[in-house]
Chains A and B, each alone.
Chain A
Amino acid sequence: MSSGTEATTADRKSLAGIVRRLPLEVAGMVVIVVVAALLPAVVPEYQALQWTQWILYGLLALSLTFVWGHAGIFSFGQVAFFGIGGYTYGITAINLINRTGETFSAELAAVVVAALAAAILGYFMFYGKVGDVYVAIITLATTLVLFTFMESTAGPKYAIGQALLGGYNGMTGIPTLSYGWPGSPATPLSVTQTLAIVVGVAGIIAFGLHILLRRPFGRIVAGLRENEDRTQLLGYDIRRYRLIVFIIGGSIAGLAGAGYAAWGMFINPAVFGLQQAALVVIFVLVGGRTSLLGAFVGAILLQSLSTSLGGSDSVLTPIILGGVLIAVVMLLPQGIVPTVSAIAQRLVPQLRPRPPQLPVPTSPPEQLPLPTKSDRASPQSGPLEAIDLRKSFGGLTAVDGVSLTFAPKGVHCLIGPNGAGKSTFFNLLVGRYRPTSGQVIFSGEDITGREPYQRVRQGFGIKLQVASLYTNLTAFENMWLASYANIGNTKAATQRAIEILSWLDLIPQANHLAGTLAHGQRQWLEIGMVLAPEPVIILLDEPTAGMTREETLRTVDLVTLLGKHASVVVVEHDIEFVRQLNVPVTVLHQGRIFAQGGIDELRRDEQVLEIYLGRGGDNVEA
């Protein structure tokens, strides 16, 4: 949306922000590397072997924490990518070790193949927009099919190069990690050296995710987890974000799998088994769904528990694992680490997280007119047209051939009794439904097939009937996400968010969770989020639902004001509100346009009274 010169300043600004934080982040990385490098000196060899496995499981759990805990994708099949990574490492390393003498290429291959598998699976799931439960089932089923598949590859005919897949017996003779460079022939790493590498890499990945989650990407992903609909209606392509997260998670799991195959010099189909898949979920549940550190804590806790019970072959292990899974779900849905830290924070107030300080402007800006971004390139703004729109659900035709044109400026109201097709028509304009036939034209361009986020980027501002906020994020974070979608620059988005919050009189509540705001404040916050990118078409579905009379009057003023800058389409139930607005009205009835005109004129129309206002009209108007 922004022009070329703007983009460069924006880039420079956000770069400055990153540079300021950089020393701390580099320092963190250095600490991790130093600690890892010191490990061989202090950890005895017999423990190193076990620790390596625990950390690798922790890394696998970390991938699930990221995908599930942070992005809300219920991937029950992280072990699929773990296993794919392990097998790929085995196949590549067995074939290459005698030629290249190193295993780096095999690790790389493992990550690439796992990422590719995640990309393909993720593409079909996220671009098909299948539901959460389906994602869980598909990922788990994929894992189990891989299990059956790899179990059936016994015998010499299932070999890739020199690597025998080995069926249920597994693949043996996988080389351990070894690195070398020209002039220095590689030697396999010792057990303690392997531990150092694994800890270093796992630490860097965990820290990298920590940094990523604090960047705008992390905030958007959090928004996605909290409220998928809202995120989409702010103009973010949620399918793409989900896919990226899934690929990152798949790559991390793949790398852990490669390490696992190298560590045990062996891999078998059990990595794709139901128990292994459950194990990762349990690690994450015990450690806490969103805690990056918790992933490792969970893995180490449970693995040491299982070792003390006699290893994974013990008869009791699965029963205890299953019991832990049920117990955590029923008793500690937050996980162990977050529960402990919540208790600690209650006992020691100093540990409580402090809200970020906002750069609140010293002098509050004027109440009206609407804050405008002067540096904005003027977006296209022609009329929005619906041409013969039709939408059927099964046998029911909810919208039956509606053609309407909304001028580039001004307010237009849509009214009608329950079941008239108002909401369906609204959703067709917004792009949440695909019409059965007909077209939606904006500025002369056919946008019928566009996703809601694409329409928002073209200048749509959308408020749905049901209040849709990120209830677990603060008011400021809500507004920031709305601003960032359009601006794409951290600092500018912060500034814009504060501008709008102060215009809405919501600065005192800026650091409150949106879910704790009063009802009216929530409505205002959401309207503010719709206005943040300065839309040219504003679609409001029952904006005054649940508002007090006073708030409704304030909304009348606001909508009237918006109509001077943009085209506003309001779907309303509240006749008093519509009368106050005093704008052109279209009455929908049984999916068709029933009448059009001014509200006073319509109130004199006998037929309209009959279908909508009820017989006798005036006594039901309130």
Chain B
Amino acid sequence: MQADDLINLALSLLTNISVLVIISIGLAVIFGMMGIINLAHGEFLMLGAFATLTAVRAGLNIWIAMILAALAVGVFGLIVERLLIRHLYGRLIDSMLATWGLSLILIQGVVLIFGPSTQGIRTPLGDVRIGDYSISQYSLALIVAALVLLAIVFWVFTRTPYGIMARASTQLPSMASAVGINTSRTNMITFAFGSALAGAGGALLAPMAGVVPNMGQAYVARAFMTVVVGGPGVLTGTSAASAFLGSIERVVSSLWAPFFGQAALLLAAIVLLRFMPTGLSGRWGRQL
């Protein structure tokens, strides 16, 4: 095997892992900190993509459009938390059902506004040649973006007052409220932060995937399995699960077909949970 083969293989593996991080980190923050699974997560991704599309069409620079999209979905998440999620704390399955209902409404709402057809954004950046291969610079940017998102999460949860309070509330809710932490407020911020990350994920997907109202369906299963396999550790779990599942998916996809890759990812996840029911980070104690 030549050096350029190896580099190409490594990059495609890393890109695939990064995509998993990008699509699941928002879900992981909400699940890890609040124990809630947002079943409309796929639609939050989709909203991020559409927000990016709209901003780019309005003439904005694509990178600025992506940041705006993340903020917009974050605000949307805040509203959803106040109107819906807040009333369903402690009712885990009910909160899943309500967000599921929300997901149906969002898909159809976007169909009504933007129409059902697939739209696209031109992929920014060009290609780079490595030996015999031509690699899209955008897929390299995705690797950087995944690292940036992880770094943001780390920074928020270790360096901001909110982050420290959020982790305290997760570990011991009763003690947290006893020392005066407003858990309702931290939950609200957590949900908005997770939503913004989902929005950023969708924004990053927009140039490489077709932007279409039901695009969430194509990604959300992988995001679910990444979070479940990762377990409660937001950063450690998500990174480890993305690396594990992303590698399996990539290898199987390139050997057979992409849809076999997804099936293999699912099977690997289910088999792993048989032996580690609380996920990869479940036994590492509660860290980030």
Interface residues of A (CB under 8 A from B): 74, 76, 121, 123-125, 127-134, 136-138, 140-142, 144-145, 147-149, 151-153, 273-275, 278, 281, 285, 315-319, 321-326, 329-330, 333, 393-395
Contacts and interface: CB of A to CB of B under 8 A. Distances in A.
A315 B265 CA distance: 34
Contact of B92 (A121, A133, A275): A133
A315 B113 CA distance: 11
A148 B221 contact: yes
B102 interface: yes
Given A138-B273, A140-B224, A319 B94 contact: no
B272 to A, nearest CB: 9
A121 B270 contact: yes
Given A136-B96, A147-B217, A395-B285, A127 B101 contact: no
9 contacts: A121-B270, A134-B228, A138-B224, A138-B228, A148-B218, A148-B221, A278-B103, A319-B109, A321-B101
B173 interface: no
Interface stretch (B62-70, B150-158, B255-263): B255-263
B175 interface: no
Given A74-B93, A281-B100, A315-B112, A130 B221 contact: no
A274 B283 CA distance: 32
Contacts of B111: 315
B21 interface: no
A325 B104 contact: yes
B131 interface: no
Contacts of B39: 140
Interface of B: 35, 37, 39, 42, 84, 87-88, 91-94, 96-98, 100-105, 107-109, 111-112, 214, 216-218, 220-222, 224-225, 227-228, 257-259, 262-263, 265-266, 269-271, 273-275, 277-278, 283-285
B223 to A, nearest CB: 9
Contacts of A333: 91, 94
Contact of A129 (B96, B228, B277): B277
A305 to B, nearest CB: 15
B277 A145 contact: no
B37 A142 contact: no
Given A74-B93, A274-B103, A319-B105, A124 B266 contact: no
B275 A128 contact: yes
A132 B104 contact: no
A395 B285 CA distance: 8
B220 A125 contact: no
- Chain A CB within 10 A, most for which of B93, B111, B221, B265: B221
Nearest to A316: B108
Contacts of A326: 84, 98, 101-102, 105
Given A321-B101, A329-B97, A125 B228 contact: no
A134 B37 CA distance: 10
B97 A285 contact: yes
A136 B228 contact: no
Contacts of B278: 131
Contacts of A324: 101
Contacts of A76: 96
B197 to A, nearest CB: 18
A128 B104 contact: no
Contacts of A131: 277-278
Contacts, number: 147
B98 A329 contact: yes
Nearest to B112: A315
Contacts of B108: 315-319, 322
A334 to B, nearest CB: 12
A322 B274 contact: no
A147 B216 CA distance: 13
A145 B262 contact: yes
A152 B259 contact: yes
B279 to A, nearest CB: 8
Closest 4 CB pairs of A and B: A325-B101, A322-B104, A394-B285, A128-B274
Contacts of B103: 274, 278, 322
Contacts of B220: 144
A77 to B, nearest CB: 11
Contacts of A273: 217
Nearest to A318: B108
Contact of A318 (B104, B271, B275): B104
Contacts of A330: 84, 87-88, 98
A134 B93 contact: no
Contact of A329 (B101, B217, B224): B101
A317 B228 CA distance: 31
Contact of B107 (A129, A141, A318, A325): A318
B266 A278 contact: no
A493 B274 CA distance: 35
B117 to A, nearest CB: 14
A497 B99 CA distance: 44
Contacts of A138: 224-225, 228, 269-270, 273
Contacts of B277: 128-131, 134
Contacts of A125: 270, 273
- Chain A CB within 10 A, most for which of B42, B104, B108, B266: B104
Given A125-B270, A394-B285, A148 B262 contact: yes
Nearest to B259: A152
A132 B93 contact: yes
- Chain A CB within 10 A, most for which of B111, B270, B285: B270
A56 B98 CA distance: 25
Contacts of B98: 325-326, 329-330
Contacts of B102: 322, 326
Contacts of B88: 329-330
A60 B274 CA distance: 27
A322 B35 CA distance: 23
A330 B85 CA distance: 10
A136 B37 contact: yes
